[in-house]
Chains A and B, each alone.
Chain A
Amino acid sequence: MKSVDVLADGRIARRFAALKAEGRAGLVTFITAGDPDPVVSQAVLNGLPAAGADLIELGMPFTDPMADGPAIQASSLRALKAGMTVRRTLEMVRGFRKQDADTPIILMGYFNPIHAYGVEPFLAAAREAGVDGLIVVDLPPEEDEELCLPAVKAGVSFVRLTTPTTDEARMPAVMRNTSGFVYYVSIAGITGTASASNTAIDAAVARLKRHTDLPVAVGFGIKTPDQAAEVARVADAAVVGSAIVTRLADGLDVSGGVKPGTVEDVLGFVGELAKGVRAARG
Chain B
Amino acid sequence: MTKLNTYRSGPDERGHFGIFGGRFVAETLMPLILEVEKAYREARADPAFEGEMRQQLKQYVGRPNPLYYAERLTEQLGGAKIYFKREELNHTGAHKINNCIGQILLARRMGKTRIIAETGAGQHGVATATVCALYNMPCVIYMGETDIARQQPNVFRMKLLGAEVRPVTSGSGTLKDAMNEALRDWVTNVSDTFYIIGTAAGPHPYPAMVRDFQSVIGDEVRTQMQELEGRLPDSLVACVGGGSNAIGLFHPFLDDPSVQMIGVEAAGRGIEKGPLDHAASINGGRPGVLHGNRTYLLQDEDGQILEGHSISAGLDYPGIGPEHSWLHDVGRVEYAYATDQEALDAFQLCARTEGIIPALESAHGLAEVIKRAPKLPKDHLMVLCLSGRGDKDIFSVAKHLGVEL
A69 cross-chain contacts in B, Cβ below 8 A: 184
The CA of A189 and the CA of B185, in the complex, are separated in Å by 8
Nearest-CB residue, chain B, relative to A190: B184
- Within 8 Å of chain B (Cβ to Cβ): is A143? yes
Interface-facing stretch out of A166-174, A210-218, A226-234:
A166-174
User: Provided the pairs A116-B301, A140-B25 are in contact, do residues A189 and B31 lie with their beta carbons within 8 angstroms?
Assistant: no
10 new A-B contacts, CB < 8 A, other than A112-B288, A188-B28, are: A62-B304, A70-B170, A112-B303, A117-B303, A142-B14, A143-B23, A143-B24, A165-B29, A167-B31, A188-B190
Shortest Cβ gap from A28 to chain B (Å): 18
Whether the Cβ atoms of A140 and B301 lie closer than 8 Å is no
Asked if A143 and B22 sit within 8 Å, CB to CB, the answer is yes
| Option from B27, B170, B171 in Cβ contact (under 8 Å) with A185 | B27
Determine how close the nearest CB of chain A comes to the CB of B179; give it in whole angstroms.
8
Residues of A within 8 A of B176 (CB): 64
Looking at the assembled complex, report how far the CB atom of B314 sits from the nearest CB atom of chain A, in whole angstroms. Answer: 20
Structural contact, A115 and B27, CB atoms closer than 8 A:
no
A86 with B23: CB separation less than 8 A? no
A113 interfacial contact with B, CB 8 Å: yes
Neighbouring B residues of A195 by C-beta, 8 Å: none
Pair B14/A138 contact, Cβ less than 8 Å:
no
Contact A140 B27 (CB under 8 A): yes
Q: In whole Å, how far is A43's beta carbon from the nearest beta carbon of chain B? A: 23
Contacts of A113 in B (CB 8 A): 302-304
Chain A 153-171 interface residues, beta-carbon cutoff 8 Å to B: 160-167, 170
Task: Please tell me if the beta carbons of B303 and A138 are within 8 angstroms of each other in the complex.
Answer: no
Residues in B neighbouring A116, C-beta threshold 8 A:
288, 299, 301-303
B304 to chain A, nearest CB (A): 5
Query: Which residues on A sit within 8 Å (CB–CB) of B26?
Result: 66-67, 137-138, 140, 161, 163
Is the beta-carbon distance between B171 and A163 smaller than 8 angstroms?
no
Total A-B Cβ pairs within 8 A: 115
- Judged by DSSP, the binding face of B is mixed
Give Cα A244 to B119, complex, Å.
Answer: 33
Q: List 20 A-B contacts (CB under 8 A).
A: A62-B303, A63-B171, A64-B180, A64-B291, A66-B184, A69-B184, A73-B170, A111-B289, A113-B302, A116-B299, A138-B289, A140-B25, A140-B27, A142-B14, A143-B23, A165-B29, A170-B30, A185-B27, A188-B191, A190-B188
Query: Are A86 and B28 in contact, with the CB atoms below 8 A?
Result: no
Q: Report yes or no: A112 in contact with B23, Cβ–Cβ below 8 A.
A: no
Determine whether the beta carbon of A162 is less than 8 Å from that of B27: yes
Q: B residues within 8 Å of A by Cβ?
A: 14, 22-32, 170-171, 176-177, 180, 183-184, 187-191, 288-292, 294, 297, 299, 301-305
Say how far B6's CB is from chain A's closest CB, in angstroms. Answer: 25
Query: Once the chains are docked, how many angstroms separate the CA of A277 from the CA of B25?
Result: 31
Q: How far is the CB of A201 from chain B (nearest CB, A)?
A: 16
Taken together as a complex, chains A and B put the C-alpha atoms of A209 and B30 apart, in Å, by 21
Interface status of A80 (Cβ within 8 A of chain B): yes
Task: Give the interface centre of A85, A143, A166 by most chain B CB atoms within 10 Å.
Answer: A143
CA distance A161 to B302 in the complex (A): 25
A6 at the interface (CB under 8 A from B): no
A76, chain B: closest CB distance, angstroms = 10
| Residue contact A112 to B299, C-beta cutoff 8 Å | yes
CA distance A231 to B393 in the complex (A): 54
Q: If A66-B183, A161-B27 touch, does A115 touch B302 (CB 8 Å cutoff)?
A: no
